[in-house]
Structure 1
Amino acid sequence: MDIDRYLGPGHRTAALVTSHGLAVADAAVRLAEAERIHEEKEELAGTLTRRWGTPCHLGLQTVRLRTGTEEIPEPWAGLSLRVGDVYLWQVAEQGRWVALGVADLDPDDEIQLLLVVTDTDPP
């Protein structure tokens, strides 16, 4: 697990699953691996839902667009460049947010299942 690769004040990001060699792979192979990692996301989301309740579904496209004209706090700005949408839980007793998503937007990068824990409210 690649934890703290995207470490910053008030947040941590862990790559729970990372593809290998897909940055240069055939598009069909990349698509199949993306589907597999999305399935893993759904399985983990089920486990987290049993623990913290039903998550919000947060699309990050508007956040990504807003980064061009607004100061969007991390980890949300960086996450929006890599992930299209996340499941989002508010863990109120700890004052934190937990986001789960698949980083598959950049075809020149590996696909990753990311888990983000932050005390920064989503934009």
Structure 2
Amino acid sequence: MDIDRYLGPGHRTTALVTSHGLAVADAAVRLAEAGRFHDEREKLAGELSRRWGAPYHVGLQTVRLRTGAEEIPEPWAELSLRVGDVYLWQPERPREHGRWVALGVADLDPCDEIQLLLVVTDTDPP
């Protein structure tokens, strides 16, 4: 994966895969598809780990809870509302720029489509 195309000031969130019709789907269908998205995340995380080393595995529930009491910087505030946990790397190549790469499945909102998200940001995780 060439993250150079995601580099720039601030942050960028990209949906690598998006479901279609799951916002109104039966709960069992949605659950099965969420599992497929998590499998895709694991597969891509394995590929990125071979390139950048083992990621941090970061749960975002405490960040989500903190958004009600304090200012959480973007993209972390929005990400915590959509994603339960992420794999997080700070690859060697962009490290001089302080970049982080996060990979997660946005499946928390049952009224929204499921997405496999890639986030590149220069904002340190909270």
Root-mean-square deviation over aligned CA pairs: 1.2
The equivalent of 1:20 in structure 2 is 20
SS in 2 for 1:73: coil
Alignment match, 2:3: none
Taking the aligned partners of 1:93 and 1:71, their CA distance within structure 2 comes to 30
Aligned mate of 2:100, from 92, 97, 115 = 97
Partner of 2:5: none
Deviations 1:33-71 (A, max 9, x none): 101110000000000000100000000000000001111
User: Unmatched 5+ residue regions in structure 2?
Assistant: 1-7
Any residues of structure 2 matched to 1:1-123 within 5 Å, and which? 10-94=10-94, 95-123=98-126
Unaligned runs of 5+ in 1: 1-7
Count of aligned pairs: 116
CA distance in 2, matches of 1:93, 1:76: 22
Which range moves more in the overlay, 8-17 or 41-50?
8-17
TM-score under structure 1 length normalisation: 0.91
SS in structure 1 opposite 2:113?
coil
Q: Which has the higher contact order (CA 8 A, sep 6+)?
A: 2
Which protein has the bigger strand share? 1
Paired residue secondary structure (2:108): coil
Q: Secondary structure at the match of 2:63?
A: helix
State the 4+ residue runs in structure 1 displaced beyond 6 angstroms.
none
Describe the SS at the equivalent of 1:63: helix
- Measured after TM superposition, the shift of residue 92 of structure 1 is 4.2
- Kindly state the Cα deviation for residue 93 of structure 1 after the two structures are TM-superposed: 3.5
